[in-house]
Amino acid sequence: MDLNLLKRHGRDEWHISPRGKMRVPGVIYATESLIHDMDEKVYEQVTNVATLPGIVQASYAMPDAHWGYGFPIGGVAAFDPDLGGVVSAGGVGFDISCGVRLLRTGLTVEDLPAVKELLAEALFHRIPAGVGSTGLVHLDKHEMDAMLAGGAKWAVGKGYGLHEDLEFIEEHGCMAGAKPENVSDHAKKRQQDEMGTLGSGNHYLEVQQVVKVFETDVGAVFGVREGDLVVSIHCGSRGLGHQIGTEFLKSMVTSAARHHIELPDRELACAPINSEVGQEYLGAMRAGINCALANRQIVTHLVRDVFADILPQATLSLLYDVSHNTCKVEEHRIDGTPTRLFVHRKGATRAFGPGHPDIPPALRAVGQPVLIGGTMGTASYVLVGTEESMALAFGSACHGAGRSMSRHQALRQWHGREVVKDLAGRGILIRSPSMRGVAEEAPGAYKDVSEVVDAADDAKLAKKIARLEPLVCVKG
Amino acid sequence: MQSPSSEMVHDNSWEHFPHEADIGVRGIGMTKEAAFEQTGLALTAVITEPTSVAPTQTVSITCEAPDDELLLVDWLNALVYEMATRKMLFSRFTVRFNDHSLNATAWGEAIEVARHQPAVEVKGATYTQLSVKRDEQGHWIAQCVVDV
């Protein structure tokens, strides 16, 4: 991105002054080097979002921002319903509530070598992953609606996981306001065999080691110490979320003119919050969030089963579960006044600071855990929300490394088997049904996650707490 | 990635074009129907090598949209839906238009993970870089980015 397009405010904050139809400025949080490597499309998409009705404060991009659909991936924007604000299906994206959860195991890295291969094989064979895979849970119409209304709470009620897990999931594991009746039969059909599946692409299940704890006080509250073995799960709302996104994108594109909304890009498809389409979407999207929460809960149950067989001394407890692609109603201060806003995070993590009432009591004093997924060959990070983050971008931070190379380029550069072999040489076991998929997800195809996390830390969006490195990775 | 025939400009062909996070599918044809059919192959090629998919079962698809571009998105999304719910892959397509509606047949087979090595599932077709138009040589070009 051309730095001349931006005005620098401090080391990691860059502003785009309102011009043309922009209602608010654009703000990008990133280092100069990340900005330099950012696609020009991010600039275009940040400015396009700033033109949408009812947007408040600014259109934000996180340090991992890259070219998305309508919104940049790594985009954050909030809308005030009383100012004609909109909800955007494009601003949430196809994989509704795609997210990451982190489980402590109570084990250390010394416990792994003797069973590492066995554990990798068992996780690969017992957690459905990849194209065409089906889950062990098949839902009839009644159960589907119950799942869509209840999320992870429904899953726990069915025996998938522990009641105490719910406290450590955003929304306590159940997104209020979900309307299963707003979810089409097509979307439900796409989901009926997909509960408890990882999916494909950048989704993964990893056994990781905590290699560094940067803030031992917060690390102690989070229950992570150097040498600990942890498990990360990254997946979303599967076919149901994709279908909801597809259908509402179309209905919002075709209804935009009726709502007198001028779309600079059809992918920004949106509808007034206080409109029939807007309300229908919110009900369906919240059901999609519950689907993702239930899905990660079932996958967690399967992981616990595998550990119980292979490392029975393990106790898998949930540190936290974050969602990346959402629109949520939150209260934030606008010009000093508490205001109810519809906050869109597209490829961005909620990062509420210390004391926020939505953080579980056990963690509230330090802030919300922010889980940043890396690649299968690099690292993931645990961060914590800061007091400053609430004022910077509605309590939001980055979500991952972000690709630096297209799948096409990655395929030309790497062969899956070589990637698997190279990583095995570094002590990382990769299990995947598709070697082509592994090549497309090669670690070198992503930005440097450490640089992204350092930028988020430096900008005070979230504070770096721990670095995790993969030991076993199951890719879809 | 492109179809074996893509360098023969007089022929129907498909290709992928880059998007930072995802992938673009492009169908090129002597007719609009052919260009849409080629996008079907380009879509399959995101997932697996189209020549590895035996065209043994048929699925009928109809969609309707107010313009050609929205129809292309609907067509690709209909294929995504059929692939997801039937656990199938497709390698042959016929497309016919009737005003703003599309009637198609897709031929394919059930996914066999070991043989097809499916790289990634497509979540949906997007409006990004979406266009359906004729170039100066009269070829129809239909394209958009798909989210994976």
Residue A179 reports pLDDT greater than 50: yes
Query: Chain A contacts of B114, Cβ < 8 Å?
Result: 433
Are A449 and A381 a contacting pair, CB within 8 Å?
A: yes
Domains and CATH numbers, chain B: 13-147 (3.55.10.10)
pLDDT at A133: 85
- As a whole number, mean pLDDT of residues A136-160 equals 96
ipTM of the complex: 0.88
Helix (H, G, I), strand (E, B) or coil at A416: helix
What span, in angstroms and rounded, lies between the C-alpha atoms of B135 and A267?
Answer: 24
pLDDT at B1: 73
Band the pLDDT of A213: cuts 50, 70, 90. very high
**H-only helix segments in chain B:** 32-47, 68-86, 113-116
pLDDT at B40: 98
Question: In Å, how far is B131's CA from the nearest CA of chain A?
Answer: 12
Question: In Å, how far is A352's CA from the nearest CA of chain B?
Answer: 27
pLDDT at B4: 63
User: How does pLDDT run across A344-354, given as a tens digit for each residue?
Assistant: 999 999 999 99
What span, in angstroms and rounded, lies between the C-alpha atoms of A197 and B87?
Answer: 14
Q: Which of A39, A201, A436 sits opposite B20 (nearest CB)?
A: A39
Are A4 and A36 a contacting pair, CB within 8 Å?
A: no
Q: How many CA atoms lie within 13 A of A411 on its CB side?
A: 19
DSSP B90: E
pLDDT at B8: 45
- As a whole number, mean pLDDT of residues A380-396 equals 96
Band the pLDDT of A21: cuts 50, 70, 90. very high
Query: Chain B contacts of A292, Cβ < 8 Å?
Result: none
Question: In Å, how far is B87's CA from the nearest CA of chain A?
Answer: 5
What span, in angstroms and rounded, lies between the C-alpha atoms of A298 and A316?
Answer: 14
Query: Chain B contacts of A132, Cβ < 8 Å?
Result: 87, 111, 113, 118, 121
pLDDT at B10: 55
Query: Chain B contacts of A91, Cβ < 8 Å?
Result: none
In a mutational test of the A interface, the residue from B126, B129, B145 whose CB has the highest number of chain A CBs within 10 Å is B126
Band the pLDDT of A242: cuts 50, 70, 90. very high
- Tokens linked to A56: 């408040």
pLDDT at A194: 92
| Across A12-21, A331-340, A397-406, A413-422, least confident range | A397-406
Nearest chain B residue to A437 by CA: give it. B119
Band the pLDDT of A49: cuts 50, 70, 90. very high
Query: Chain B contacts of A71, Cβ < 8 Å?
Result: none
Nearest chain A residue to B71 by CA: give it. A250
Nearest chain A residue to B20 by CA: give it. A406
pLDDT at B7: 46
CA dihedral angle for residue A17, residue A21, residue A23, residue A28, rounded to 10 degrees: -40
Q: Are A250 and B70 in contact (CB < 8 Å)?
A: yes
- As a whole number, mean pLDDT of residues A7-15 equals 95
Looking at the complex, does the CB of residue B52 fall below 8 Å from at least one CB of chain A? no
Q: Are B124 and A41 in contact (CB < 8 Å)?
A: no
By annotation, the residues of A acting in catalysis are 399
What span, in angstroms and rounded, lies between the C-alpha atoms of A282 and A189?
Answer: 20
pLDDT at A134: 87
If we measure between CA atoms, which residue out of B71, B49, B86 comes closest to residue B140?
B71
Query: Chain A contacts of B100, Cβ < 8 Å?
Result: none
User: How does pLDDT run across B70-114, given as a tens digit for each residue?
Assistant: 999 999 999 999 999 999 999 999 999 998 899 999 999 999 998
Residue A338 reports pLDDT greater than 90: yes
What span, in angstroms and rounded, lies between the C-alpha atoms of A163 and A172?
Answer: 10
Which residues, 6+ apart, have CB-to-CB distance to B143 below 8 Å? Answer: B17, B24, B25, B26, B27, B39, B72, B129, B130, B131, B132
Q: Are B113 and A132 in contact (CB < 8 Å)?
A: yes
Looking at the complex, does the CB of residue B125 fall below 8 Å from at least one CB of chain A? yes
Nearest chain B residue to A236 by CA: give it. B123
Fill in the amino acid letter for A36. H
What span, in angstroms and rounded, lies between the C-alpha atoms of B56 and B110?
Answer: 9
Residue B6 reports pLDDT greater than 60: no
What span, in angstroms and rounded, lies between the C-alpha atoms of A189 and A358?
Answer: 33
- A3-475 is classed CATH 3.40.190.10: no
What percent of chain A has a predicted confidence (pLDDT) above 70? 100
Are A325 and A345 a contacting pair, CB within 8 Å?
A: yes
Burial of B67 (0-12, 13-18, 19+ CB in 10 A): exposed
Looking at the complex, does the CB of residue A20 fall below 8 Å from at least one CB of chain B? no
- As a whole number, mean pLDDT of residues A17-24 equals 96
Burial of A468 (0-12, 13-18, 19+ CB in 10 A): buried
Nearest chain A residue to B76 by CA: give it. A246
The residue among A377 and A406 whose pLDDT is bigger is A377
- Tokens linked to A346: 């597209």
User: How does pLDDT run across A264-290, given as a tens digit for each residue?
Assistant: 999 999 999 999 999 999 999 999 999
User: How does pLDDT run across B14-69, given as a tens digit for each residue?
Assistant: 999 988 778 999 999 999 999 999 999 999 999 999 999 999 999 999 999 999 99
- Tokens linked to A198: 């990882």
Q: Judging by DSSP bridges, how do beta strands A462-475 and A429-431 pair with one another?
A: parallel
Are B127 and A249 a contacting pair, CB within 8 Å?
A: yes
Residue A227 reports pLDDT greater than 90: yes
- Tokens linked to A117: 């291969």
Looking at the complex, does the CB of residue A246 fall below 8 Å from at least one CB of chain B? yes
* E strand or H helix at A217: helix A216-222
- Tokens linked to A222: 């989070």
The residues spanned by each domain of chain A are 3-475
Q: Are A437 and B20 in contact (CB < 8 Å)?
A: no
Give the DSSP letter string of A285-343: HHHHHHHHHHHHHHHHHHHHHHHHHH-TT---EEEEEEESEEEEEEEEEETTEEEEEEE
What span, in angstroms and rounded, lies between the C-alpha atoms of A38 and A36?
Answer: 6
- Tokens linked to A7: 């005005």
Query: Chain A contacts of B66, Cβ < 8 Å?
Result: 254
Question: In Å, how far is A408's CA from the nearest CA of chain B?
Answer: 7
Q: Which of B81, B121, B126 sits opposite A131 (nearest CB)?
A: B121
If we measure between CA atoms, which residue out of A36, A34, A43 comes closest to residue A67?
A43
Q: How many CA atoms lie within 13 A of A122 on its CB side?
A: 16
Band the pLDDT of A41: cuts 50, 70, 90. very high
